[in-house]
C-alpha cells in the first residue's frame, strides 16, 4: 500500500493522467500541508485548449484563442473508498524532458513516496523486479509488475538522460505515475512511466513501456527548490 497511496490522478479538460506525491511541507496555517506532485509535462500541458471565436472579418479565417483550462487532482482514500478533489498549482514544466511539478494544499496527512538516492539508482539492472503504479484508463491507482528490460542512455546537450524499458503493463492514464523498486523493507521511486510502445501497425503494446529515470528528474526537482526526505 505504501506505493499505491502515493499515486494521484491528474485531470485536465482534455483527459487524465497520474502523479506521485514526493513531498509534504508544513505551512504557516496550522494543520494545513502543501504537497508536491511529480508527473509528466504531457499530462499537464494538455490543459491548454483552443477555442474558435468566429471568422476574421478581413481574412475570413477562423479566430482562435488559447486558454489555460487548469488542472486538478483526485486523491484516493483506499481504505474508506473516498475521493478528494483539489485544484493544482503548476510549479514548473519541462517539456523537453516531459516532467512537471504540481502542488496542492490539504489538511489530510497523505503518504509521500520514498525517493531512491543516487546509490540506489546506480544499482538498477536489467532483470530487476519493478512495480508501476498509475491511474490506468482513468481508474483508481492500480499496480502492475514486471522487470527492467532495457536501460537506455543518451545525451541531450550537456545533460545525460536515462530511460528504463520495462515490462510492467501501462495503459492510457498511467503517464506520470511511479515506477518503484524494493530496497530492503521498502519500495522506492526510481522512475516515471511516460509511454508504452506502439507497433508498426499501430497496435498499442502495453507490456513494453518506458519510464524516465528519477536521476533525470532530480535536477528538475532540486532546481525548483523542492525539499524531500
Check whether 63 has a pLDDT greater than 70: no
Q: Cβ(97)–Cβ(4) under 8 Å?
A: no
Q: For position 228, what pLDDT does the model report?
A: 44
- For residues 202 and 172, which has the higher predicted lDDT (pLDDT)? 172
Q: What is the pLDDT of residue 79?
A: 81
| CATH 1.20.1600.10 is right for the domain spanning 4-106 | no
pTM listed for this prediction: 0.87
Domains 4-106 and 114-223 fall in the same CATH topology:
yes
State which H helix or E strand residue 94 sits in.
strand 89-94
Domain ranges of the chain: 4-106, 114-223
How much is the pLDDT for 78? Answer: 83
Mean pLDDT confidence for 86-104: 93
Model confidence over 116-162: pLDDT tens digits?
Answer: 999 999 999 999 999 999 999 889 999 999 999 999 998 876 677 89
Q: Which residue has the cell 483506499?
A: 78
Q: Which residues touch 169 (CB under 8 Å, ≥6 apart)?
A: 132, 144, 146, 206, 207, 209
CATH code that applies to domain 114-223? 2.40.10.10
Amino acid at each position: 500500500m505504501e506505493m499505491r497511496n502515493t499515486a494521484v490522478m491528474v485531470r485536465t479538460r482534455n483527459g487524465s493522467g497520474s502523479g506521485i506525491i514526493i513531498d509534504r511541507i508544513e505551512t504557516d496555517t496550522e494543520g494545513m500541508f502543501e504537497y508536491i506532485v511529480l508527473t509528466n509535462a504531457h499530462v499537464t500541458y494538455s490543459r491548454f485548449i483552443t477555442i474558435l471565436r468566429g471568422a476574421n472579418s478581413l481574412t475570413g479565417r477562423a479566430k482562435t484563442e488559447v486558454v489555460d483550462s487548469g488542472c486538478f487532482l483526485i486523491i484516493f482514500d483506499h481504505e474508506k473508498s473516498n475521493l478528494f478533489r483539489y485544484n493544482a498549482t503548476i510549479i514548473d514544466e519541462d517539456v523537453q524532458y516531459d516532467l512537471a511539478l504540481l502542488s496542492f494544499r490539504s489538511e489530510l496527512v497523505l503518504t509521500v513516496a520514498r525517493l531512491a538516492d543516487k546509490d540506489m539508482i546506480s544499482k538498477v539492472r536489467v532483470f530487476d523486479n519493478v512495480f508501476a503504479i498509475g491511474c490506468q484508463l482513468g481508474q483508481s491507482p492500480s499496480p502492475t509488475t514486471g522487470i527492467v528490460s532495457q536501460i537506455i542512455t543518451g545525451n541531450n546537450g550537456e545533460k545525460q538522460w536515462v530511460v528504463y524499458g520495462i515490462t510492467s503493463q501501462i495503459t492510457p492514464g498511467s503517464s506520470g505515475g511511479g515506477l518503484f523498486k524494493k530496497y530492503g523493507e521498502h519500495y522506492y521511486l526510481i522512475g516515471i512511466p511516460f509511454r508504452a510502445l506502439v507497433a508498426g501497425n499501430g497496435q498499442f503494446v502495453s507490456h513494453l513501456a518506458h519510464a524516465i529515470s528519477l536521476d533525470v528528474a532530480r535536477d528538475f526537482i532540486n532546481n525548483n527548490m523542492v525539499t524531500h526526505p
